[in-house]
Amino acid sequence: MGRTSAEAATNIQTPLLDLKAQYSSIRDEVLAAVEEVLESQRCIGGPKVAELEEQIAAASNCKFALGVSSGTDAILNCLMGLGIGPGDEVITTPFTFFATAGGIVRLGARPVFVDIDPATYNIDPAGVEEAVTGRTKAILPVHLFGQMAEMDAIMAVAERHNLAVIEDAAQAITGTYKGRKAGSIGTAGCFSFFPSKNLGCAGDGGMIVTNDERFYSRIKAMRNHGAEPKYYHKLIGGNFRLDAIQAAILLVKLPHLDGWAEARRRNAAFYDEKFKDTPVRTPVVNPDCRSVYNQYVVGVADRNGLVTHLRENGVGCEIYYPLPLHLQECFSYLDYGTGDLPACERAAGEVLAIPVYPELTEQMREYVVATILGFYA
Ligand SMILES: *Cc1c(COP(=O)(O)O)cnc(C)c1O
């Protein structure tokens, strides 16, 4: 359409994420797994959910895992399991997806936002210590973009003040900190199987991992309205159950997860090298961490201009996250203002996620780099 063949050849459509590429590589197994569940008509819980729980527990070096309805419900179920409620405070990061803080406020508790480390975008442990009050019940760190937060320092604060720690590991399944798996360090860890996560299902799903047996039995009962046994309720929970079809699909995908993470790291290393000594600031990797790169997020000047340029040239990108949680309209009652958490506010103005998904081709990666560097040339 008016485009010369030379231009067409250089324009390589590169979405931020291409789930069809992944699906086409495992299609037959997925269809067979779904059919098996449908034939059994065991659609809630059952052997697929139990097997997935066992395998995710093992992959996370945790004793227990509990399949739940989403990452959002994983967080909510954990906070309910801790008995968080009105008058309580939970310390968390303002630079995350809404669900991190959503669970806190839904229980009537107060999220206390602490600024981030500008290098890693994860919560700053020094700020966590300063934010502790007599009402603090828990710390809710997020392992953003696939890289774990500074867990030693966070756990030290938690131990000094006798606080629970719930790891929001929605973006970091199998990521490590000093060789320890995401979700295995705090009281519990929360995963999301939203399709865009490293391990995604065909809808919504999530998982909680923990090494604490008493906590596990509480959240397990709460997953199903606190019923134990059926129709007898000692606790108030919700419907936080995971569908068997989702578990079956995830069981097909799980054996590929490490390979996919490796491919993401290869793509990240490629970008790291190509963007060296350019105006593009590459992600800072904490030497204690092995990131699983749910997102590859660069820091850039004139971000709006770059976004337009990328869209015009067929390169997918996304801003995670444009408005920090402490400045969200629904949290105006918390009385935060612009300037309160400057590192986070600065990050919100400069971050941009570019394609890093495992099936990216060499040509696509080259094209992404050339398109970005072309903008700054
Ligand atoms: C995706 C995500 C969640 C929520 O997971 P859902 O499965 O979409 O409910 C929570 N926290 C973070 C950091 C996430 O990225």
Residue 331: the pLDDT is 98
* pLDDT value, residue 6: 39
What is the CA(168)–ligand 1 centre distance, in A?
A: 8
Residue 3: pLDDT band by 50, 70, 90 thresholds? very low
Q: What is the DSSP string of 120-131?
A: T-SB-HHHHHHH
Distance between CA 65 and CA 208 in Å, rounded?
A: 5
DSSP conformation class of 280: P
Return mean pLDDT, the chain.
Answer: 96
- Phi and psi for 164 in degrees, rounded to 5? -80, 155
- Which pLDDT score is estimated for 8? 42
pLDDT for the residue numbered 241: 97
In testing the pocket of ligand 1, which one of 192, 201, 320 has its CB within 8 Å of the most ligand atoms? 192
Distance 312 CA to ligand 1 centre (A): 29
Q: Which residues of 123-153 are buried (b: 16+ CB within 10 A; e: fewer)?
A: bbbebbbebbeeebbbbbbbbbbbbbbbbeb
Q: How far is CA 222 from CA 233, 347, 371, in A?
A: 9, 37, 50
Return the residue whose CA atom lies nearest to atom 10 of ligand 1: 99
Question: Quick check: pTM over 0.75?
Answer: yes
Tell me the residue ranges of DSSP E strands in the chain: 64-68, 89-92, 110-113, 136-140, 164-168, 176-177, 180-181, 188-192, 206-210, 289-290, 296-299, 351-354
Q: Which of 17, 70, 72, 79 to mutate to test the pocket of ligand 1 (most atoms within 8 A of CB)?
A: 72
**Where does residue 55 rank: exposed (0-12), middle (13-18), buried (19+ CB within 10 A)?**
middle
pLDDT tens profile 47-102: 999 999 999 999 999 999 999 999 999 999 999 999 999 999 999 999 999 999 99
Q: Ligand 1 centroid to 332 CA: how many Å?
A: 22
CA of 102 to the centre of ligand 1 (A): 10
pLDDT confidence of residue 5: 39
What is the tens place of the pLDDT at every residue in 276-294? Answer: 999 999 999 999 999 999 9
For ligand 1, which residues put their CB under 6 angstroms from it?
A: 70-72, 96-97, 99-100, 142, 168, 170-171, 192, 194, 204, 206
Rounded to an integer, the average pLDDT of 216-225 is: 98
Confidence band for 10, pLDDT divided at 50, 70 and 90: confident
pLDDT average, residue stretch 326-335: 98
Question: CB-based burial of residue 346 (10 Å sphere; 0-12 exposed, 13-18 middle, 19+ buried)?
Answer: middle
Question: Rounded to the nearest whole angstrom, what is the distance from the C-alpha of residue 129 to the centroid of ligand 1?
Answer: 25
Is the separation of the CB atoms in 198 and 192 below 8 Å? Answer: no
Is residue 110's pLDDT more than 80? Answer: yes
The preferred substitution site among 97, 143, 204 for testing ligand 1, maximizing ligand atoms within 8 Å of CB, is: 97
Angle of CA points 348, 350, 355, to nearest 5°: 100
Strand partners, 172: none
Which residues, listed in sequence order, are joined to residue 92 by a DSSP beta bridge?
A: 113, 140
* Cα–ligand 1 centroid distance for 100 (angstroms): 7
Q: Where is pLDDT greater, at 319 or 10? A: 319
Domains in the chain, please, with CATH?
Answer: 5-17+256-376 (3.90.1150.10), 24-114+121-254 (3.40.640.10)
| 283 CA → ligand 1 middle, Å | 21
Does pLDDT of 4 surpass 80? no
Looking at this protein, which amino acid is placed at residue 174? T
Kindly give the number of the ligand 1 atom that is closest to the alpha carbon of 192.
7
Owner of token pair 């973009």: 145
Rounded Cα gap, residues 252 and 199, in angstroms:
10
Q: Which of 106, 171, 173 has most ligand 1 atoms within 8 Å of its beta carbon, as the pocket-test mutant? A: 171
Quick count: other Cβ atoms within 10 Å of Cβ 8?
10
Q: Which pLDDT does position 1 carry in this prediction?
A: 37
pLDDT at 273 over 90: yes
The 10s digit of each residue's pLDDT in 148-186 is 999 999 999 999 999 999 999 999 999 999 999 999 999
